Structure 1
Amino acid sequence: MMKMINIAAAVLGTMILTAGCSKYTDIKTQGSLIPGQISNYRYLLNYTDTYEYGAYLPDLASQDIEITDSTQQVAINNTISSAFFRNTYTWRTPIYENTLDRDRDWDTYYGRIYNCNVILDEVPGVTDGTAEEKAELMAEALTHRADAYLNLVNEYGKPYNAGTAAADPGVPLLVTPSLDQPLNRATVAAVYSRIEADLKTAALSLPRTTQYNTLPGKAAAWSLLARMYLLMGNYPAAGTYADSALAVKSTLLDLTAGAVPLRRNNPETILSKIAGTSFAWAPTTMRLSQELLDLLGTKDMRYQLFTADAPSMLGAGYTGRFFSYERINYENRSIGTSVPEMMLIKAESLARNNNAGAAMELVNKLREKRFQAADYVVLTATDVNDAIVKVIQERRREFFCRMLPWFDQRRLKDDPLFRKTYTRTWQGATYRLDPTSNRYVFPIAQYYINLNPEIQQNP
């Protein structure tokens, strides 16, 4: 019985946290909805808040940000609720110092997984609906679950390494809505295997296109497979699935027009997902690193549209520039798959297959939409390694403060082209992140381990 209580607190409780105020809780109480009918599950999947929110910790650990202002550091230190920001930024453990504190990333993803598991478990037994309708609903649930596990394993598991993945601890792999099951961590290899199988199964039954980018179609499943294979270092497969996604959706947004639509109207978005928390306001503002700002340059429209001068918007004591998209558009930053991501995955696949020229053509096709005509300069590569570096640099320009830079840091930390030791200073103390550091894996909040001692902590 104790196991059930523990799991209920760690799993069912997260569902209540992320979807407790959603219409899901009303499905079996509203007179217009009858238990056992397929409309219940369409209703649940249409409530996108349950499925769209995702991680926010990766942005704080990445090389994108640089919190050097004493004013900001003091303000964060003096705000109890901001301790996680400081600890993640300085790669400290634990992230959550109070053993009663819960990890919002962990909660959000396992809350989504629970809902997906309910759909996958119950839809086959509904009393109405065609086989095709049932298959499509289950495919959507598989896609959302796969996205959750891909992000979880890249926060709390080691970067994928073909030689060690079968032994490296991943995350608890829950595929049924049962509350009475152990929460032992599956291996990284097992988690990736499940993600791969779920997405390939989902792609068979998803529609080619959907009315809203919050609902997954075939391109969504293929784009997630491309992202997954990239994180695994399987560049040929990553390129193949990026091609498949681009065959369905390939529209690029022209930033030279000087405006960016809301994410749900953005033609570049393949599957809309957003960070769980906005960091647009002081003190937890993401001040951008000088390295990133130098990489962008002031003529890049991404610099002009997505960054802003800190003193003018945040007040005295703040210097430099910060990530401003959330403050301008009043919506959390996008972390879902997109057309630019697929183009750059394909470009990296080409470069790593010794085709530097084709890789740079894709990079330049994207960059044409990121500069005014008078400022646009064609990039060239001197060799394959230079092409790989330029592709990764373009990923940084395109996705800064949007989760992917931290995932890139993790997957490339042992690559001689990118191997680097990072340092950060916080109120006089210096913190290091070496390529071999355990801090490339986030610690699991003690709250969950206290409830479920079988969960193995990261070293």
Structure 2
Amino acid sequence: MNKSIKISCLSLILLPIIMFSACKKDWLNAKPDKALVVPTTVSDYQALLDNAIGSPGMNQNEPSLSMVGDGDYHIADADYTRLRYAPEKSAYIWAPTADFYNGQGSSEWISAYARILQSNVVLDGIATVKTDVGSLTAYNNVKGSALFYRSFDFYNLSQIYCKAYDATSATTDFGLPLRVSSNVNLTVSRSSLQQTYDLITHDLLQAAPLLPAKPLYPTRPSKPAVFGLLARVYLAQGNYSKALTYADSSLHLQSALMDYNQLNPNDYIPIAQFNKEVIFHSQLSTYASFDTYSLIVDSTLYKSYDANDLRVSIFFLNVNGNMTYWGNYTGAPYAFFGGLATDEMYLIRSEAYARTGNTTAAINDLNTLLSTRWKTGTYVNKTAASADAALALIIAERRKELCFRNLRWPDLRRLNKDPRFQVTLIRNVSGKTYSLAPNSPLYVLPLDPIEVQAGLQQNPR
């Protein structure tokens, strides 16, 4: 199927955007109907976690409101005016707290804590199940998977609703409400940011020995997924030696890269779902501004690719004279990938090598990745005279390789602490200019006012 047919089919296949604008219930205190399901066996609990796209959907609707404001795209004024979900409109212009929700609920917060509750139900329940040698592997997979899923959501929420990690203030900065029990009657306040990160890493380290090196399905967690998430977490903390260790551990188990020369940019779906780079499959929440007809890729980003870089034709598509994004690893152009993949692990390991002074290894990893992205015979290996020079190349490639995976926002938050990489985001809407300065408190989105009314401290913005 060629690209002209891609566009004509789009209106028929776009999924509805699920908005929780009418939701007024405090999710953290919501009680599930226990009559709906009474799991009692290992297979029952596995089935709860295998609910990939249902409700709560363990592999979909990952928090992505931050991607609305990360500056890698913009939309026309008319499209902005047509946006109906107040938090999306607010995230687009980095609105202040008072105007952010406009009476509409936080769908992402609700979805994430629904999955966390599901994980807690599994963890509490599986602890009561008797096991033997024959069922131990299945038992371990359930427990390790639940720990991973909970960690994945806590990490993703922390990148949106908590400050960027700073070791000097992490013990006093606000973290998340850390629900680790299925007992919804327990009152849970906000933890510190350090406690949030500590729980994430603790759970992941517990999960690693329980999970297989290769999962039965890409929607299930695995050892390389645990190591990959640990690498991402430690990168956010600026702990580059541990980020290196876990990116390396992940790549030792799964390191395959696609050769983009083998992809056909004229195919309806140039990049296959569950391709060999996918370590853990998950999809981001969908917003109206992500629509192919609305999303216009930032011109600076688009122009940063070389003419021989195949990502230009694989990632982007001309729609009515504007470049939109088409490079998802989900098997669908309108469903953005939010999982873990080997290309990200190469970039984390490369950056960690550079940060720890190993210039040669850093550049080798970068060249390994980029050589699979350029037209055969055109790529010339990059070189760097110093670790700092290598780091600059790597940071530039992170934006180009990992765009539209909701990784740009966490990168901006951590990199803005370094004057060399600071970026001021600017958007113009209906003649008015909005800007987001480096290290602005607006890099932390506000909590839903309903949660604040229930007793959670609001983020200072």
The 5-angstrom pairing of residues 93-242 of structure 1 reads 93-94=96-97, 97-126=100-129, 130-242=135-247
2:48 aligned to which of 40, 44, 57: 44
How many residue pairs get aligned? The number is 426
1:366 aligned to which of 365, 369, 375: 369
Secondary structure at 2:421's aligned position in 1?
A: coil
Distance 1:14 1:158 in 2: 29
1:254 aligned to which of 252, 259, 262: 259
1:214 CA displacement: 0.9
1:91 CA displacement: 1.2
Unaligned runs of 5+ in 1: 1-5, 17-23, 29-34, 312-318
Instruction: Give CA deviations for 1:281-304 in whole Å, capped at 9, x if unaligned.
Output: 266x33111110121234322111
Distance 2:369 2:154 in 1: 29
The amino acid of 1:51's aligned partner reads M
Question: Are the equivalent residues in 2 in contact too, given 1:183–1:455 (CA < 8 A)?
Answer: no
The amino acid of 2:67's aligned partner reads D
Instruction: Give CA deviations for 1:247-302 in whole Å, capped at 9, x if unaligned.
Output: 11011011111244433x2110111111111655266x331111101212343221
Distance 1:200 1:337 in 2: 17
Describe the shift of the 1:372–1:191 C-alpha distance in structure 2 as closer, same or farther (beyond 3 A): same
1:444 aligned to which of 440, 443, 447: 447
The amino acid of 2:311's aligned partner reads R
Describe the shift of the 1:307–1:364 C-alpha distance in structure 2 as closer, same or farther (beyond 3 A): same
Distance 1:150 1:328 in 2: 25
1:373 CA displacement: 1.5
Q: Which moved more, 1:285-294 or 1:401-410?
A: 285-294
Distance 1:282 1:336 in 2: 21
Distance 2:420 2:102 in 1: 39
Distance 1:334 1:282 in 2: 15
1:78 CA displacement: 3.2
The amino acid of 1:154's aligned partner reads Q
Distance 1:282 1:262 in 2: 18
Distance 1:351 1:78 in 2: 45
Instruction: Give CA deviations for 1:314-348 in whole Å, capped at 9, x if unaligned.
Output: xxxxx531112369834512121111111111111
Describe the shift of the 1:96–1:177 C-alpha distance in structure 2 as closer, same or farther (beyond 3 A): farther
> Does residue 1:412 correspond to 2:412, yes or no?
no
Question: Are the equivalent residues in 2 in contact too, given 1:360–1:387 (CA < 8 A)?
Answer: yes
> Does residue 1:289 correspond to 2:291, yes or no?
no
Secondary structure at 1:385's aligned position in 2?
A: helix
Distance 2:346 2:331 in 1: 27
Distance 2:51 2:216 in 1: 15
Question: Are the equivalent residues in 1 in contact too, given 2:162–2:193 (CA < 8 A)?
Answer: yes
Instruction: Give CA deviations for 1:205-229 in whole Å, capped at 9, x if unaligned.
Output: 1112112111111111111111110
Question: Are the equivalent residues in 1 in contact too, given 2:83–2:89 (CA < 8 A)?
Answer: no
2:458 aligned to which of 436, 456, 459: 456
Distance 2:292 2:352 in 1: 39
Secondary structure at 2:127's aligned position in 1?
A: helix
1:11 CA displacement: 3.0
The 5-angstrom pairing of residues 324-403 of structure 1 reads 324-325=326-327, 329-330=332-333, 332-403=335-406
Secondary structure at 1:51's aligned position in 2?
A: coil
1:239 CA displacement: 0.4
Distance 1:375 1:13 in 2: 57
1:439 CA displacement: 0.9
Distance 2:370 2:350 in 1: 13
More helix by share: 1
Question: Are the equivalent residues in 1 in contact too, given 2:73–2:297 (CA < 8 A)?
Answer: yes
The amino acid of 2:26's aligned partner reads A
Normalised by the length of structure 1, the TM-score is: 0.87
Question: Are the equivalent residues in 1 in contact too, given 2:145–2:221 (CA < 8 A)?
Answer: yes
1:9 CA displacement: 3.4
1:9 aligned to which of 26, 39, 45: 26
The amino acid of 2:409's aligned partner reads W
Q: Cα RMSD between the aligned structures?
A: 2.5
The 5-angstrom pairing of residues 53-132 of structure 1 reads 53=60, 54-67=62-75, 72-81=76-85, 83-94=86-97, 97-126=100-129, 130-132=135-137
Distance 1:270 1:10 in 2: 30
Q: Which moved more, 1:342-351 or 1:43-52?
A: 43-52
1:304 aligned to which of 304, 313, 316: 313
Distance 1:322 1:208 in 2: 36
Question: Are the equivalent residues in 1 in contact too, given 2:68–2:92 (CA < 8 A)?
Answer: yes
Describe the shift of the 1:342–1:230 C-alpha distance in structure 2 as closer, same or farther (beyond 3 A): same
Normalised by the length of structure 2, the TM-score is: 0.86
Question: Are the equivalent residues in 1 in contact too, given 2:296–2:324 (CA < 8 A)?
Answer: yes
Describe the shift of the 1:136–1:433 C-alpha distance in structure 2 as closer, same or farther (beyond 3 A): same
Distance 1:44 1:105 in 2: 20
Describe the shift of the 1:86–1:200 C-alpha distance in structure 2 as closer, same or farther (beyond 3 A): same
1:323 aligned to which of 322, 325, 337: 325
1:114 CA displacement: 0.5
1:444 CA displacement: 1.2
The amino acid of 2:430's aligned partner reads Q
Identity of aligned residues (%): 29
Instruction: Give CA deviations for 1:113-170 in whole Å, capped at 9, x if unaligned.
Output: 0000000111111256644432321110000110111111111000010111111001
Secondary structure at 1:80's aligned position in 2?
A: coil
Secondary structure at 2:414's aligned position in 1?
A: helix
Distance 1:96 1:108 in 2: 22
